[in-house]
A = this chain, B = another copy of it.
């Protein structure tokens, strides 16, 4: 048997390097050479781990996606005693990557999402991550409302889109994280208001 190398850890290491570079210069700034340098491995090692650049990007994207969804789940599991409303709020804040220390992750995610709109392979991964988050939100919404929300899926889609948009606007410097949190919170508050069409309309 030949020498033992932990491929998985190396792949993760490379994925982290991809994220670092994508955060600094965007996805187009990610080249095999620079990735290898950042991961402190040779180009040959990178090529052994991933047959093509796209394969590497897909892996890195999956890696980030899992890190995010895992963190969201963990945060949820860590405080099961809170009210459903608070859980939902914390979950959404986590999804929005508003914390300062996750800003880089948010930039990377945004870069990947944009590319995912034109690269099918990336699109599948991105959709997978969102599907997972949505399922989680659906569950939270159902648990949190009494009587149960009539369309938790629709509500989850709305919240997910809002969180995403807020992240983007924070990233381009148009919104402060605090403002984004406020908006998210206000939106959640309305979740517990019954619909009353026909009032105060011009």
Contacts and interface: CB of A to CB of B under 8 A. Distances in A.
A169 B157 contact: yes
A85 interface: yes
Given A114-B26, A117-B172, A158-B187, A146 B202 contact: yes
Interface centre among A110, A165, A172, A200 (most CB of B within 10 A): A165
B199 A123 contact: no
Contacts of A144: 202
A171 interface: yes
Interface string A183-202: 10011011011111101111
Contact of A189 (B180, B192, B194, B195): B195
A67 interface: no
A84 B200 CA distance: 12
As for how many copies of this chain the complex holds, the number is 2
Interface centre among A25, A119, A192 (most CB of B within 10 A): A192
Contacts of A83: 201-202
Given A85-B201, A193-B193, A194-B199, A172 B118 contact: no
Minimum-distance CB pairs A-B, first 9:
A165-B165, A161-B165, A114-B114, A164-B165, A28-B28, A117-B171, A158-B183, A161-B166, A26-B118
15 contacts: A24-B118, A26-B115, A26-B119, A83-B202, A85-B201, A85-B202, A126-B172, A154-B182, A158-B162, A162-B162, A164-B164, A189-B195, A190-B193, A192-B199, A194-B200
Interface of A: 23-28, 83-85, 107, 110-111, 113-119, 123, 126-127, 130-131, 143-147, 154, 157-158, 160-166, 168-169, 171-175, 179-180, 182-183, 186-187, 189-190, 192-197, 199-202
